Every structure is written in structure tokens, then in C-alpha cells.
Structure 1
Amino acid sequence: MIHNPNNIRTAGKPLEEATKVMIMVHGRGGSASDILSLSKYIQDKDFAFIAPEAQSNTWYPHSFLRPLAENEPYLSSALDVMASLRARLQADFNFKLPQIYWLGFSQGACLMLEYVARNAMDYGGIFGLSGGLIGPAETPRTYEGSFSNTPIFLGCSDQDSHVPKERVLESENVFRRMGADVTAKLYPNFPHTINEDELNIVNLLIAGDQQRPATT
């Protein structure tokens, strides 16, 4: 295994005490500590935050727009980390799917969005900042499963140097087709970073999720 699923950092409430957990996935060259620093902007204090860290701080070597095979075996290992983390939260800490939230930035957003698309379920919320689904333009998006109105937010610059806006909009359409409640926002002339408006939307969606009807 390339990426170690046990190389994780935590913040917020202890996992044993929290009623919600957010899996936070860092970008290329970033770290678990970097992405966990965003936890202080999350207004809901019932969260535990958990962040895996990639081997050499990179989840896969090439652009997310390249053919999938070019990013192997790193991509499959990274997706396995996502699966392992979710399984551990469910089995060891008894989190239900609607209590599990996902947030990723840049390469971490791409990885996280690809994982949840392949494992569509009724999560608490999914927040992809400066990212989109992985693969070249002609990739068939034949994902199975339903998000059951899971709130998904996709935020990105309209001229991001790494993430074409067309991929953000394609991802929006895919997630909507799969039953998610999607909010997508492109920010004019914005750099490849996270902005205050995006964090405000994340907080609004978390707060609004309290009013979402429970699914059985």
C-alpha cells in the first residue's frame, strides 16, 4: 500500500464524543495539519475532524484530467484510504452515514469527490473546493447509487489554473443526476485557494442539514 491509512490527524471533539465527523482531504503538497486548520472556521461545535495524510504529501502524481491509468497505483491506494477511514468511523466509533461529512481542497477535493461518486450514499454533506471528478473529458460517469438529497457544494474559480470550470459543471450535473442537492458556485477571476464565501456556504449547508428529513 502506497498511502498509509493510519497516518491521520484529528481536531475538534474527540471521536468518541462527537455526534458528527468531517473527513478533510488535503491537496497536492499539503498536509493533514494544513487542511485541519480549516476546522476552526466550522461553526458547528459537535464535530470531530479527521484528516489522512498522503505519502510524500501527494495523492497521485499527475493531473486529475489525465487518463486514470496514468495515476495508478497511487489513485487506487488513495481511494482505499478514503474507504478505510469511512469504515473505521462506522465500525469503531459508530458514526451513521448521515453523521459523516466530507471536505476536500484541490487534489484532495478531486480524490474525495471521486470516492463519494463511486460510493454514493446518504452522507451528511460533501464539500469539494477547487476540484472535480477524476479522469479525462470522455470518462464515462456510470456511477451507481443515490445520494438521497445529500447536500453537495462545489466551489471554484471560473479560471482556475488546475481545475477547468467545465469539469466543475460536469461534476455538478453528475451529482445532481445521482440525487444530490447540489450547490455549485464559480468565482470570477479568483485564485486557486479557499475563500470566505465558500466557508460561509459550507456552514449554511451544515446548519440547514439539521432540517433535512431523516432517511431510513
Structure 2
Amino acid sequence: MYTHSNQISIGGVPAANAKAALIMLHGRGASAADIMRLAREFNATEMTVYAPQATNNSWYPYSFLAPVEENEPALSSALALIDEVVAQALADGFTADKIYFAGFSQGACLTLEYITRNAKQYGGAVAFTGGLIGEELNLNNYKGDFAGTPVLITTGDPDPHVPLSRVEESAEQLKGMNANVSVKVYKGRQHTISYDEIALANQMVFI
């Protein structure tokens, strides 16, 4: 098992000149540099982009549907690293409602898990193929009020890693905490991010 070192790539507009912050979480086997390239496709030209790097290019060792204890201590370490990134964004002058999140696959799961454990009014969040983490959801972990934060969750059906039932369960949890959730399901889509999903993210979150 492993923990994550504090490696954070920063790009986009310098914080002093930016209107918002974007925290991007890469998928299993990918890197911070990979996910930062995706920021170029968003309406994020006036944002500072923060992308932490997972140790061994993986945020946690097993499926997000495994019992949480099997993914420890890596999962808690990953959540703590995101907390450090958020703290850095706040220190750089961004208020929570100017902080956005985006992640793919394992990074999408981590995005949803982090914001739902720390719900408040964020700028918005995009989870490209992901759901809340755990064999069963521990509702005691989820606290706060999203105050209308826009959240987009997209997925394929079927997806080899993320069952639609968990996507729907996750969406309902966030809605119950006052997030403005949109879910888009693509029949037969491979485990990837399509141009349509990027366009949706720009229409619904990065407005």
C-alpha cells in the first residue's frame, strides 16, 4: 500500500490574474500532465489549473467498488492531497465558489468523493465516468450543502469499471445535498471522454 507525495502541477493563468481555479484529477495509469491537457478543451482560459500527481499513477489500488479498507491508506492519502490542493487554491486567493473540479474515471470517483465529503458552494464539478467510493456508500461521510453547485456526471452504459447503478446512486446523494446535478449516459460508449461530454461540461459547468 502507498501514500501520495505532495506533487502538484500548476498551469493555466497565474493566480493573480485568474478568475477561478480548476482542480483536475487524472485516471488510473495516467498523469497530472495528461489531465491538464484536457483543460485546454474547457472554457477555462481565465483559470489557474492545479493537477496533483498520484504515486504510481494510481490514486488507490483496487476498484472504487471494493470495501474502503482495502483501498487504504491510499484513498485517505489521496483525499488529504486534494485537501492540500484546495488549501493552496484558497491561499492563492480563490474563494470556494470560484474553485472547480474535473476528473476522469478513478479521478472522477475521487472528485465526487472529495466534494461530497466537503460539500459547500463550489464553482462546479465534472465527473467523467465515476461514482462515489465504497462497496456500499457510508452516508456518515457526506456532510454539508452544495448550495446549487452545478455537477455533471457522464458515463457509458455499460462501462467496464463504473456501473450505471452507482452513478445514479451518487447523483441522488448529491442532489439530496442541494447540488444541481446533471447525468448523461452514453449507450455503448467506450471508457473514454468524448467531445460531446466536453461540450456538455462547457454548457453546464464552465459557463
Cα displacement (A) at 1:207: 4.9
Question: 2:3 maps to which residue?
Answer: 2
Shift of 1:175: 0.5
Kindly indicate whether the alpha-carbon contact (under 8 Å) linking 1:32 and 1:52 is maintained by their aligned counterparts in 2.
Answer: yes
SS for the counterpart of 2:139 is coil
1:134-156: per-residue Cα shift (whole Å, max 9, x none)?
Answer: 001x3232322100000000000
Q: 3-state DSSP class of the match of 2:133? A: coil
Q: Distance in 1 between matches of 2:27 and 2:10?
A: 17
Partner residue of 1:156? 155
Determine the structure 1 residue equivalent to 2:124: 125
Which segment is superposed worse, 59-68 or 197-206? 197-206
**C-alpha displacement of 1:43:** 2.5
Mapped to 1, the partners of 2:188 and 2:152 lie a distance apart of 19
Deviations 1:168-210 (A, max 9, x none): 10111000000000000110000000011111111112354xx
Residues 122-142 of structure 1: CA distance to partner in whole angstroms, max 9, x if unpaired?
Answer: 000010001100001x32323
Paired AA for residue 84 in structure 1? E
Which residue identity does 2:27 align to in structure 1? Answer: G
The 5 A counterparts of 1:128-147 are: 128-136=127-135, 138-142=136-140, 143-147=142-146
State TM-score, norm by structure 2: 0.96
Deviations 1:105-136 (A, max 9, x none): 00011111101110001000010001100001
Contact 2:129 2:153 in 1 (8 A): yes
Residues in 1 aligned to 2:32 and 2:198: alpha-carbon distance in whole angstroms: 18
Between the aligned partners of 1:204 and 1:139, the Cα distance in structure 2 is 30
Q: Name the aligned partner's letter for residue 119 of structure 1.
A: N
Q: Which runs of 5+ in 2 are unaligned?
A: none
RMSD between aligned residues: 1.2
Counterpart-to-counterpart distance in 2, 1:65 and 1:18? 37
Match of 2:37 in 1: 37
**How many angstroms apart in 1 are the aligned matches of 2:177 and 2:72?**
26
Whether the 8 Å contact between 1:157 and 1:186 is mirrored in structure 2 is: yes
1:70 maps to amino acid: E
- Deviation by residue 1:11-54 (Cα, 9 ceiling, x = unmatched): 21112321111000000000000000101101242111110000
Output the amino acid matched with 1:77. Answer: S
| Alpha carbons 1:11, 1:39 under 8 Å: kept | no
TM-score normalised according to structure 1 size? 0.92
Q: Percent identity over the alignment?
A: 43
